[in-house]
Amino acid sequence: MAVGCGWCELVDLIGDKPVIELTQDDGIDYSEWWRERVVAGEINAKSANKSMGMLSRMLKDMSIRRRLNLPEIFKGLRLRGETENTRSPFDPAFIQNVLLGDGALDGLNVEARHAVYMLAETGLRPSEALNLNENTIHLNAPIPYVEILPDGRVLKTEDSRREVPLVGVALAVMKKRHKGFPEYRDKSATLSATVNKFLLAHGMRPTRLHSLYSLRHSFKDRLVAVEAPDSLIDNLMGHSTGKSKYGKGPPLELKLKFLELIAFKPPSRL
């Protein structure tokens, strides 16, 4: 296929194949990749639709001029202002027994696999986890934790700035990743595409509405299940409440108390 900006993204997702072999599944994969970026707050739906529209017009023009009779792979895939609520949470038992099952994610490269474990336990946005570094990972503190800081980039909201204790599989993983995830730094869309494609291929996405970002929704549901205070949940999620701020917010000790109640057991082999 000819390669331009949009084509590069499509090729990265589906592989370099002849244009006559493109299918609607390829269009869905591309649309879902954009949806993940919209959900993560990295881009808006308008920009995603613009990119898909451009590729759609190029394919249609090529199909007509070269008499290829190509399928309209992006038909009906326009994003309609998707929000975080378009993702379905994984059931905690599914995360523990399937996603964290021994050897379940061995087909992923080790850094991507570790990122999945980190996201499952902490509820961080992919971009937040992937941009952790030696300055924001505190393994030797009395309570090991990570800091979500601007650190050269713009946070989604001021409330995104926070401290999250490390427990369970997240603590186990970060003991091996004291420098973070350098291969995926500033590449959250690439990680999402890689992981979502793997999960789909291996039957680990119960529905199309389940994706890597669903782990963040699961995190909130797990905190609600152990009756964590709303203010603590908002703090751990990095959500903006729109309310005036008073005090320093929940301390690490209180966060740790509730995170230990929902901690996952790490796989025997990370």
Q: What is the DSSP string of 37-88?
A: HHHTTSS-HHHHHHHHHHHHHHHHHHHHHTT-----TTTT----S--GGGSP
Specify whether the CB–CB gap between 112 and 184 falls below 8 A. yes
State the pLDDT at residue 24: 84
Q: What's the rounded mean pLDDT across residues 97-114?
A: 97
Report the percentage of the chain scoring pLDDT > 70: 87
- Tens digit of each residue's pLDDT (9 = 90 or more) over 199-236: 999 999 999 889 999 999 999 999 999 999 999 999 99
Q: Which amino acid is at 55?
A: L
Residue with tokens 């649309």: 31
- SS3 call for 78: coil
Q: Which of 1-10, 11-20, 45-54, 86-95 has the lowest mean pLDDT?
A: 1-10
State the pLDDT at residue 158: 57
State yes or no: pLDDT of 134 exceeds 50. Answer: yes
CA-CA distance, 166 to 18, in Å (whole number)? Answer: 46
Specify whether the CB–CB gap between 265 and 168 falls below 8 A. yes
State the pLDDT at residue 3: 38
State the pLDDT at residue 106: 96
Residue 56 is encoded by which pair of tokens?
């759609």
State the pLDDT at residue 245: 59
How much of the chain is helix, strand and coil, in % rounded to 5?
Answer: 50, 5, 45
Mean residue pLDDT across the chain: 87
Domain ranges of the chain: 5-84, 87-261
State yes or no: pLDDT of 86 exceeds 80. Answer: no
Dihedrals phi, psi of 137, to nearest 5 degrees: -110, 120
State the pLDDT at residue 154: 46
Residue 240 pLDDT class (50, 70, 90 cuts): low
State the pLDDT at residue 34: 82
Q: Which residue has the higher pLDDT, 260 or 43?
A: 260
Residue with tokens 């994984």: 90
Q: What's the rounded mean pLDDT across residues 155-178?
A: 87
Count of residues in the chain: 270
CB burial of 76-92 (b: ≥16 within 10 Å; e: otherwise) equals ebebeebebeebbbbeb
Can you list the positions of beta strands (E) in 142-193?
145-148, 162-165
pTM: 0.74
State yes or no: pLDDT of 66 exceeds 70. Answer: yes
State the pLDDT at residue 263: 98
CATH of segment(s) 87-261: 1.10.443.10
State the pLDDT at residue 209: 83
Q: Which residue has the higher pLDDT, 101 or 50?
A: 101
State the pLDDT at residue 76: 86
Strand partners, 138: 145
Q: Which of 98-102, 117-121, 124-128 has the lowest mean pLDDT?
A: 124-128
State the pLDDT at residue 41: 64
